């Protein structure tokens, strides 16, 4: 098996990474930074986002496994004291073996960013946000090429289903099961009075829909794609839609999504 490990960079995570390498060597795994079959993230959900964007060009060929070193993450199935069990299960899997991992696929967001200075494309695992740097954001929101609303407020968040448990939840958005191919658009502190009006409610758009966010004044903005930040002062528009590709996670044991939600927010 070809594998690669990315850790959070703190001492505990780095020690676990070295332990994983030792155990993997005993099972004759091959460390491969160029074309791994499995990428192991050791840290938290932020580490998984880093791993995802590190291998963004090879997403169709890779499955991810998360090991959390702190609080339970939504992208991590394994605790720090379970590395030996994880390595054992990984070593027992094969092309025809009964212990093959279950591969689950989560939807992603595809972003097309248009600026006066040029265009760029991104894929997000958690969310995309657009926020103002100096003051109120003024942006026109179109759905399927038809004007929906003129937004005024602090910003807009567009999340994947798996990302709905993160910033989207803090904004009052709904948590969506990641088997549902959709994106959620949530307002960040919108202005609603007798003069200005927005829907004021999160929107869930299916796979075959798209939304466009147009900058409607000269404004400095901060665009974020997961953990990546991009200051922009010449934005024209951003198109958001469910991506054609998905991220794959290797499940070596069951861990249902709603169990993750309960453990993270209720237990």
User: Which parts are annotated binding residues for NAD(+)?
Assistant: 45-46, 50, 126-127, 152, 154, 189
Give the residue numbers annotated as catalytic, written as ranges: 45
Report the Cα–Cα distance between both ends of the chain, in Å, rounded.
36
User: How would you classify the pairing of strands 127-132 and 118-124?
Assistant: unpaired
Instruction: Find, among 181, 184, 185, the residue nearest to 245 by Cα.
Output: 181
Give the Å distances, CA to CA, from 259 to 41, 77, 141, 173.
20, 11, 35, 19
* 3-state SS, residue 33: coil
User: How would you classify the pairing of strands 235-251 and 102-115?
Assistant: antiparallel
Question: Could you tell me the maximum CA-CA distance found in the chain, to the nearest angstrom?
Answer: 69
HEC states along 167-201?
HHHHCCCCCCCCCCCEEEEEEEEECCCCCCCCCCC
The HSE-up count of residue 235 (CA atoms within 13 Å, CB side) is 27
User: Which residues fall in the annotated binding site?
Assistant: 45-46, 50, 126-127, 152, 154, 189
Helix ranges, the chain (H): 11-26, 45-54, 83-92, 167-170, 257-265
Cα radius of gyration rounded to whole Å, the chain: 20
Give the Å distances, CA to CA, from 24 to 1, 6, 36.
9, 14, 13
């Amino acid at each position: 098996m070809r594998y690669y490990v990315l850790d959070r960079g703190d001492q505990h995570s780095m020690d676990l990474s070295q332990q994983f390498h030792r155990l993997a060597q005993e099972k004759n795994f091959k460390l491969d930074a160029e074309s791994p079959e499995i990428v192991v993230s050791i840290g938290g959900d932020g580490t998984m986002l880093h791993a995802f964007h590190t291998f963004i060009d090879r997403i169709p060929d890779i499955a991810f496994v998360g090991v959390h070193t702190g609080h339970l993450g939504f992208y991590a199935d394994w605790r720090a004291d379970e590395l030996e069990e994880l390595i054992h299960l990984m070593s027992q899997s094969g092309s025809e073996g009964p212990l093959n991992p279950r591969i689950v696929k989560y939807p992603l967001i595809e972003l097309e960013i248009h600026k006066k200075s040029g265009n760029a494309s991104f894929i997000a695992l958690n969310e995309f946000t657009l926020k103002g740097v100096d003051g109120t954001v003024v942006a026109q929101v179109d759905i399927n090429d038809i004007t929906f609303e003129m937004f005024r407020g602090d910003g807009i968040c567009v999340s994947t289903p798996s990302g709905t448990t993160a910033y989207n939840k803090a904004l009052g958005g709904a948590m969506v099961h990641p088997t549902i191919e959709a994106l959620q658009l949530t307002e960040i502190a919108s202005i609603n009075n007798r003069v200005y009006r927005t829907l004021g409610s999160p929107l869930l758009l299916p796979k075959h829909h798209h939304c466009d966010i147009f900058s409607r004044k000269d404004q400095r903005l901060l665009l974020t794609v997961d953990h990546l930040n991009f200051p922009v002062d010449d934005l024209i528009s951003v198109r958001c839609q469910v991506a054609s590709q998905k991220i794959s996670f290797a499940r070596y044991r069951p861990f249902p999504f709603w169990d993750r939600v309960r453990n993270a927010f209720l237990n």
